[in-house]
Amino acid sequence: MGCRRRGSRSELLRVVASAEGDEVLVDERRRLPGRGAWLHHSTACLDRAEKRRALPRALRRPGPLDTSGVRSHLEPPTGAVASTTTDENGSNS
Ligand SMILES: [Zn+2]
């Protein structure tokens, strides 16, 4: 929905509005009740959806929604990559 492109559902991420509050949750198992919206696995898609206010519309929520949870799910963990590769084969023989 964010970018209006259709994809197979396997490449789309389902998000739902939390029952209380205005938080958007990632529904990884696609089992949460309520209205869902579909996004691609990219922050660009989320950006687009937010810009067009597609999420409140799709999820039937009036207000601005907190999508930080979804965003951190989509954003690749930067900086957390291997810094511990010097543990094996130490030169202590
Ligand atoms: Zn998209």
* 49, 1 Cβ separation under 8 angstroms: yes
Q: Give the bridge partners for 61, in sequence order.
A: none
22: CA distance to ligand 1 center in Å?
22
* 73, 45 Cβ separation under 8 angstroms: no
pLDDT at 7 over 80: no
Q: Give the tens place of pLDDT for each residue, 16-68.
A: 999 888 999 999 999 998 889 999 999 999 999 999 999 999 999 988 899 99
The pLDDT value given to residue 49: 93
pTM of the model: 0.74
89: CA distance to ligand 1 center in Å?
46
Please state the φ and ψ torsions of residue 35, each to the nearest 5 degrees.
-70, 135
CA 4-7-8 angle, to 5 degrees, is: 150
Tell me which fold the domain 9-74 belongs to. Hypothetical Cytosolic Protein; Chain: A; (3.30.1230)
Domain ranges in the chain are 9-74
21: CA distance to ligand 1 center in Å?
25
The pLDDT value given to residue 90: 57
End-to-end CA, the chain: 60
Mean pLDDT is highest, among 3-7, 9-13, 16-20, for: 16-20
Give 87's pLDDT tier (boundaries 50, 70, 90). low
19: CA distance to ligand 1 center in Å?
24
